[in-house]
Amino acid sequence: MSAAGLSVRDIVVRFGPVTAVDHIDLDVAPGEIIALLGASGSGKSSLLRGIAGLEPIAGGSVAWDGLDLSRTPVHQRGFGVMFQDGQLFPHRDVGGNVAYGIAGLPRAERQARVTQLLHLVGLAGYEHRAITTLSGGQAQRVALARSLAPRPRLLLLDEPLSALDRALRERLVGMLRTTLKATETTAVYVTHDQDEAFAVADRVAVLIDGRIAQIGSPGEVWRDPARADVAHFLGYSPLLPAGVAAGLGYPDPLGDKLVAVGPGGLVTDPAGRRLEIVEQVDHRGYAAIRVRIPGDGTAVVRAPAQVPETAIAVRLDPAQCAVVAASPDGADRSGAPTM
């Protein structure tokens, strides 16, 4: 890739004997949004903090436009950081918070920038509102506007919506991407939420055990997870060996690979294999029926309503499944599917 933008090479972050980030390479092109997606403890926030200079790196380099910043202090890197709590100043009004990082601009230019950004985040006219009167979602939008005001060459966002309830996160995530794109901001976005990462990012990097297990566009990562632990993290469950998958109607030979069953990957079919019903739970518009699969574990099939029987005939739908390699540690981490 071109040297333009962010270039991370062989970066290592350690906390005592624990290696949180284990020799990661990452490139982010100008104007691109990359999501670092992973479970708690996967190293995603440690990687972000290493890029920002908030944590010392034990090895590797962080560069912008080909210039190594590894020894450059945080405040001289030209990067912005936004955290989940927003960290707004309660003694300043909304406009004062947004203008905080651009105090050196002429007054008219500063006010124009504040007005522009508040319009972008859907808070036009809020300049004189007190921070204490804002809802959680409004406060995070102010925090985003404040982070963008100095025109950082890279914005690092660490779980910026995680303190909000799911319905509010879903409403704000589109606004966040639209704002980053409208301001042509290069961004690294940390989250544990798959839907959030896929909605915001141009590319998604899945981190497992301090390493990038897979990186690609949201569609590529979802349709073709690189290995079993990535598929499981993304919500595929269970992960079936070849013999079990074939018994459930999977048509293609698999060798030593596994079939990762996505949501909707197991469907009712009168001609399918009858499996024991373990549990049935009503949802809006459908029933989630948990069945016991051959060998070990369970899987969920969706049906229009609960069935008054002890077994149901099902098959795999290949279009809703993925074929994956086993994880490096040999475990499929299949777990129990969610109802």
Q: 1-18 burial by CB neighbour count: b if 16+ within 10 A, else e?
A: eeeebbbbbebbbbeeee
Compute the average pLDDT of residues 276-285. 93
Q: How are beta strands 79-82 and 154-158 bridged, if at all?
A: parallel
Q: Give the 3-state secondary structure of residue 238.
A: coil
- Report pLDDT digits (tens) over 184-214: 999 999 999 999 999 999 999 999 999 999 9
Q: Give the 3-state secondary structure of residue 100.
A: helix
Evaluate if residue 335 carries a pLDDT over 90: no
pTM score, whole prediction: 0.89
Evaluate if residue 41 carries a pLDDT over 60: yes
Domain ranges of the chain: 6-229, 233-324
Q: How are beta strands 187-191 and 154-158 bridged, if at all?
A: parallel
Q: How are beta strands 33-37 and 67-68 bridged, if at all?
A: unpaired
DSSP 202: S
Q: Does 326 or 177 have the greater pLDDT score?
A: 177
Tokens of 28: 């982010």
Q: Residue 81 is inside which H or E element, if any?
A: strand 79-82
Q: What is the CATH number of domain 6-229?
A: 3.40.50.300
Tell me the C-alpha distance between 81 and 58, whole Å.
21
Question: What was the pLDDT predicted at 74?
Answer: 94
Tell me the C-alpha distance between 9 and 69, whole Å.
12
- Report pLDDT digits (tens) over 8-24: 999 999 999 999 999 99
